[in-house]
Structure 1
Amino acid sequence: MSQTAAGRRTVRIAMNGVTGRMGYRQHLVRSILAIREQGGIDAGDGTVIWPEPVLVGRREYALKALAERHGLDPDAVSTDLDAVLADDSVSVYFDAQVTLAREEAIRKAVAAGKHIYTEKPTATGLTGALELAGLARAAGIKHGVVQDKLFLPGLLKLKRLIDGGFFGRILSVRGEFGYWVFEGDWQSAQRPSWNYRAEDGGGIVVDMFPHWEYVLHELFGRVTAVQALTATHIPQRWDERGKPYPATADDAAYGIFQLDGGIVAQINSSWSVRVNRDELVEFQVDGTEGSAVAGLRNCRVQHRSATPKPVWNPDIPATEPFRDQWQEVPDNAEFDNGFKAQWELFLRHVELDEPYTWDLLAGARGVQLAELGLRSAAEGRRLDVPELSL
C-alpha cells in the first residue's frame, strides 16, 4: 500500500534490473527520477504520487553506486529479491532484467501480492506469458507492460492523423527499423552480447516483434497472420571481454503481417543494416486519401491532392523532387519521454484506479507474435495468429 504523509502518496517500487542500459537510462533516470524532479504526479486532490525506488540486482556495489550518484536512500538497495518482496511497504514490482530471469521473478512478485510493471517480452514463451496474465488476474493485482513506442512523438502524430481520418481507407504499412551494431572486435558493440545468443534469450524477433505487435494492434488493427524470414547475417561477434563467440540468434527479420480489415504491414528489423533514412525507425502508411512517414519524433504527410504523377522512364533522370513534396506535421503539443509518460499512467492506475489497458495479456500477445514469427521462419510458411483470451 502507498503511504500518505505531508501531501504525498509514497509508492515504494522494487526496481529489478536497473544496472542494465534500459533499466537505468529510461526507467530509473528518465522516468522515476524525472518524476521526482518534477515534484511527483499530481493526483488532483491536493496530493502527489511520489515514487520511491528500491534498487534490486545481483551486484550490491553497483546498486549502492547508483543510489549515491542520484541521492537515493543507500539502504534501499538489495540483492535479495525475496526479502524485498516480503516487505509490506513495497507495493510495486518492476522488472527490467534479462528475459530468461523475468518470468520466475514476476511469479514471485504476484505471489507476494505486488502490483506488476515489466519490460517485455514478459516470458520466454506464450504458455508462460499467459500463465503470468492469469495469475495476476486471479490475484486481483494491477499489472502493466512497457509499450513505450506508442508514446513516441512521431507515432503520436501518426495516431492524430488516423483519428482525424486523414488516410481515408488505410491500405498498407511499411516499417524499417535498425542500425549497424558493431561486432565488438575493432569497435565495441552498442548492445550486450547476450542479444546474439539464442540460448540466453537473444534474437531480434524476440526483441522487436513484441513492439511491432502493439504498434500495429493499437494504431491499425489486430495482427491476424504472420510470415517471417530470419537471418543471422553476422555469424561471429566479440563479447564484453573481447572474446569471440558464435552468434546463434537472428540479427535480422523480415516480416509480413496481415491485420484485421485487410491492411498489410511489412516491417524489416535488422542489427546488420546501415542507416539511410532520417530516423532509426520509420513507418510509411499509405491510404486512399493520403500517406505519411512517421519516425521517432517527426512525421511527414502527402495528401491525395498534392500527390505527384510520376511516369516510369529509366532512360532519363528523375525530374520530381519527391522528398520535397511532403509536408511536416507540426508538434501542436509538448511530448514527454515515452517511458516516463507510461510510468505516470501506470502509477495513476495503481493509486487512483484510473484505466490502463496495456496489461500482461497485451504482453502475451507480443510473446505470441514473436513465437509464431520464429516458427514461420523455421517452417517457411504463413501462420495465423489466434486471438488470445484468459
Structure 2
Amino acid sequence: MNTPAKPALRPADPRFSSGPTKKRPGWTADALKDAPLGRSHRAKPGKAKLKEAIDRTRAVLGVPADFKIGIVPASDTGAIEMAMWSMLGAKPVDIFAWESFGEEWVTDAKQLKLDFKAHTASYGALPNLAAARKDADIIFTQNGTTSGVKVPNFDWIAADRDGITINDATSAVFAQAIDWSKCDVTTFSWQKVLGGEGAHGMLILSPRAIARLESYTPDRPLPKIFRLTKKGKVDLEIFEGATINTPSLLATEDYIDALKWAESLGGLEALQARANANAKVLVDWVAKTDWVDFLATDPATRSNTSVCLKVVDARVTGLSEEAQAEFAKKLAALLEKEGVGLDMGSYRSAPPGLRIWCGGTIEASDVAALTPWIEWAFATLVAELPA
C-alpha cells in the first residue's frame, strides 16, 4: 500500500470552525485590556461599551437610522425566539427551512401553535421561495450554516407585503449583502463571521417590526428575557445600551475590537471581499478535483462563509450510508490529527462531508494551504478501503 507524501506547506492557522469562528488576524488577549471588568453593565462605563457595540454595528453594516439595534441573551437562537414569541400570531406564517436551524424554527412554530406553512428542502437545495405569501409573516435563514446554502437575493420578498419578515442572518451578516428594506427583524450572534465570543445575540428591528410589537399582544406567557415592550411601547432602553439580563463586558470588548478591525479594513465591502476570496479558493479547487463537490447544488446559492463539501468518488459513494459517514468522520479527524484543519466535520444532522469556514477573519492563503492536505487525507483513507 502506497502512502501519499504529506504536503510541505501547512496553514499558518488551522482553525476553520463554523462557530465560534477564528478571531481576526493578529488578535491577542491584549485587545481586551480596556474592558470595564468588575463593573456593573448599568454603570456609565459598562453602558457606554454596550452602546459603542451597537453604534459600531450600525456603522459597519449600514443599518438604516430608523432601525433599532439591541443586544439580547442566548445568542442568535435567543434573538430569533424573542422575535417569534413576541411578534408572531397576528398573521399566518411562512417558514422557509432547508437545514438544521431552520428546522428548529419550524419546531418553535409548532410549540407556539401558529398558523404556519413550512416550506422545506433537503440539504443542498432551497425551498420554493416564490411560495412566500404577501399577507403572511416570513421566517427564513439567509445562509444555512449547516448546509452551505444561502438565499441568492431578496427579490422573492414583496416590497408591499402586509406581514413582517424575520431573517436569521447569523452566518451571513458581515459577509453577504442584506436588503434592509426586505428585512424587518434581523438576528445574528457575535461568534460567527467576526469571531466574537458566544452567548450574545443581536436583534435589529425595522419600523414595521416596532409597529407590530406595539400593536399586537400575543396570547401567551412571555418570559422576562423575551419582553421587548413596557406598557404597550417598545422598551427603547434595550436599544440604547441597556440589556434585559447581564451581558459579559469582556465579550463586549472583544466584539468592539472585531468591529474596529473591520472598520480598519474598509468596512463591509472589505469583509465581503475577504469572504468571497476565501470561498473562491475552494471553488477553484473543487473545479479541478474530481472526488469532491459542493453540497449546494446551485452555484448561485453557495455560501461564501460555511462552505459544505461532499465526497462524490464512487469508491466512497458505493459504500453503505454508515460507512460513508464513517469515512467523512475519519477525513475530518485525520486533518485535525495533523493540526492542519480543526473542527471541519459536517454538522451532526447534515449529510457527511466537510464544512470549511471562509468568513472574513480567515486568510485565503490558509485555505489554499489546506486543500493539498485534504487531498492527502482523502488519498490516505481511500488507500485503506478494502479492494
Is TM (by shorter chain) over 0.5? no
Q: Which has the higher contact order (CA 8 A, sep 6+)?
A: 2
